[in-house]
Structure 1
Amino acid sequence: MTTLLVASTGGHLAELHDLVPRLGVQDDCVWVTFDSPQSRSLLDGQEVIHVPPASSRDVAGAVRDLVAARRVLCGGRFRRVISTGASVAASFFLPAVRRGLACHYIESATRTEGPSLTGRLVAGLPRTRLYTQYPAWARGRWRYGGSIFDGYAPLPRPKPRPVSRIVVALGTHERFGFPRLLARLVDVLPREAEILWQVGATEVPGMPAGARRQVPYAEMQQAMREADVVVTHAGVGSALAAIRAGHRAIYVPRRRAYGEHVDDHQVEMARELGRRGLVLAREADAVTAEDLAQAASWTVGTVGSVVPFRWAA
């Protein structure tokens, strides 16, 4: 059996990449995603099919991916499709279901209270298997499979680090900036610190020197490993990157009311990871120098063996 692994870049791809070993998938795997520095670095050496990028609520992009999906699936090579979203999942599931392929949709960890728009759409497709990462809303056809954050725990450092190297990661979404947080960090972060600024589409008066729209995935991972503190928007991919680098990041949610995202799922994400103690959740206008010191006094590590994701193979 050949499995098609489908995810948009960013957090959705990071989640699926980390979940695959827990799924026990032993057959041949082919990835479908967008062409980006993250996907090229993360999936280096694996078979990848790049499809047109589609952003949030991007109907035209979803249609382009539907056309690509029909082309990819027409050869009869694949027997199963697994996805963590976003809209590219629906674009591939529609023709996959018509061809009788097994489809598995794992809702993103950002959805702590119910399914996303994509989750609601694919739930209407027959025979599609649906998984949530939160037992509180596992009902009907949605079954609880486990969480991508299982197996991580916060640990106090024996000796707090001095805050001399900082990574700021505000995401790379082309439509949504985060000027509230960037302006706050320009005021709060120590001027003598060595700072990597990855700001995406964010622009403010007095942009910090060296600010970059995107940083290659491998470079970002290395910078996080060497940093004393990580400050990031409350995306699931950013959380996973910081956690894997051993950081309890300062984790700041975008808010819909300020035009920073399509909804408030990052608020839910910050609340959930704050409850687990894996991040230091803060609002954009409330980050302080004391938060930097507190974040530098903790690390995040793995604890025990992570149980397999509970899905129907």
Structure 2
Amino acid sequence: MEYKFTVFTPTYNRAGLLTELYESLKIQTYKNFEWLIIDDGSVDNTEETVKEFQKENILKINYIKKENGGKQRAYNLAVENAGGELFICLDSDDKYIPEGLEIILRYWKEYEKRDDIAGMGYLSVYPDGKIIGKKFPEDVIISNQFDIYYKYQVSGDKGLMFRTEILKEYKFPEIDGEKFITEAVVYNRISRKYNILYINKEIEIKQYHEGGLTSGYNRLLLNNPKGSALYHNERNFFKMSFRDKILNNAVYYKFSRAAGENIRKIFLDSKAVFYLAVALPIGEYMFRRAGKDTGR
């Protein structure tokens, strides 16, 4: 690989936010990285803004514009075009502390030869410095992405870095007619084979703006029901309590029905038929309630 890191930013009509991110990348103490921007069909002045960055010739900036198709398609395109050994997704309204990449690399060097570790996780904070969600249970811990959230009850967004070669094996599903699927689908698939190195270091600074994916999240899931159903169906591969299995399959049923699937197909596709059968009445209630909430 030509670079140690590819820092990937998916963006859509966020030219103003890109400038703040650019300024944070310019002052990274570790310099061997490229900034890969995938413009998901912006109609503002994103392209002109990036050209101004490129004129400064401070960072290696690779800019690719595509027609609007959602973050998962932008992510797949970024992985295909990444020139870095390690891959980081940094949204347009996020940034790293100046020593961010340097700290990641410092910890990573101790574990990079372990084939069972796919990447790293670290803490995210709000602009005021408050940690988002809960810390990891130990200052340095090796686990997988599912267990970190389910078994250890860690919560909130966390920064993540992956080996690029592993992400090439785990592309995002691209579902016709849908423009969103949770990143946890890919992370859970990776979790079935690989661990992650997690550290309690505050590296990523996140901002949540109106118009971002986080705002109106429940509606976003219902507007992309096939991907949402896929996520909950594949969670059945992991060990959960009886209660959580039932709730998970009720939600799988809800989204499957929202996607227009009939009950026969929902059961044929199911990874946990017994739990789905038990959950069906709850799922039907959830589906009808979701229809009322969204006006469908």
TM-score where L is the length of structure 1? 0.27
Between Structure 1 and Structure 2, the one with more helix by share is: 2
TM-score of the superposition, structure 2-length normalised?
0.28
